[in-house]
């Protein structure tokens, strides 16, 4: 099972774009397990984050199992971009500094 690092932008009609940076573990060609996730505000600042056990500052708690990024073409309002682990780790360190309960 591979670990994936991805930026997901979800366009919500009449609301705007919701951006998340996620660490996912592939479970199958269709599904991934959520490991860690960071929610960004429209300016790109961290507004929330979560692990499987702790959710802080997010609009809603993440689902433990999510669609695999390879299936996002099936969802017209979602775009995704792979990111490298170093970027994710830097953002996660920032999230822990803001929300120590994530550590």
Token pair of 95 as six digits: 């999230």
Contact call for residues 24 and 69 (beta carbons, < 8 A): yes
- Partnered with residue 26 across adjacent β-strands are 32
Give domain limits for the chain: 3-102
pLDDT in tens, 33-54: 999 999 999 899 999 999 999 9
C-alpha 99/C-alpha 103 separation (Å) is: 8
Give pLDDT, residue 20. Answer: 97
Give pLDDT, residue 74. Answer: 84
Give pLDDT, residue 8. Answer: 96
pLDDT at 15 exceeding the cut of 80: no
pLDDT in tens, 56-97: 999 889 999 999 999 998 888 999 999 999 999 999 999 999
C-alpha 63/C-alpha 37 separation (Å) is: 10
């Amino acid at each position: 099972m591979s670990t994936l690092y991805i930026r997901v932008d979800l366009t919500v009609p009449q609301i705007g774009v919701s951006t998340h940076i996620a660490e996912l573990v592939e479970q199958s060609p269709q599904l991934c397990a959520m490991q860690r996730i960071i929610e960004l505000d429209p300016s790109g600042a961290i507004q929330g984050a979560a692990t499987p056990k702790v959710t802080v500052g997010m609009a809603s708690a993440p689902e433990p199992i999510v669609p695999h990024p390879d299936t996002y073409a099936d969802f017209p309002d979602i775009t995704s971009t792979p990111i490298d682990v170093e970027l994710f780790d830097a953002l996660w360190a920032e999230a822990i500094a803001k929300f120590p309960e994530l550590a």
